Amino acid sequence: MGFRQVVLRVGLATAIVVGSGALTAMPASAASDDTFWTWTGDGTDGCGYTSFIDYGEGAPGGGPNDDYIIIQDLCPDGHGVVGYAWLDGVYLGKKYNGIGWGYESVAWDPFPSGNVAAGQFVGIKVCLVDGPNDPTPSYCASVSNWSVDG
């Protein structure tokens, strides 16, 4: 049997196994954790922090809504933190964390359906601000990522 025939047979066998569901013993939530984050670029270790959280099939404790944003202020610098979100290039808004520094965070779900689907493009941004409507946010940083499994 030639190399090409071996490749074709292996490919066909793989397609049959995948098509039969034999490789889907693990739940989709275990396939990929799409969580990612960014810190403000303020010359320190990052006083503002924004994270896209993905728990797969739902947040701890249950529920269908597993994708959301966390906004945290980590420095006693007198500034608040604002997080921004985009989905597939569409701006979804911003949320302010004015609680003050420490380990208090603001959870925010800007996603229209509550969940991000596989293949969607998620963008987040974080800035230091002086109040929720500060016209000149500073030390901003942003990051985007494709959702692997929603």
- Mean of pLDDT over the chain: 75
Work out the end-to-end distance of the chain between its first and last CA atoms, rounded to an integer number of angstroms.
42
**Mean pLDDT, residues 30-35 taken together:** 73
**pLDDT reported for residue 113:** 78
**pLDDT reported for residue 41:** 80
- pTM (2 d.p.): 0.73
Residue 13: count of CB within 10 angstroms of its CB: 10
**pLDDT reported for residue 104:** 79
Q: For residue range 121-143, what is the model confidence (pLDDT) as tens digits?
A: 999 999 999 998 999 999 999 99
- What span, in angstroms and rounded, lies between the C-alpha atoms of 81 and 22? 46
Contact 51, 107 (CB under 8 A): no
Token pair belonging to 34: 């799409």
Q: For residue range 34-80, what is the model confidence (pLDDT) as tens digits?
A: 888 999 986 556 789 899 988 755 554 445 567 889 999 988 888 89
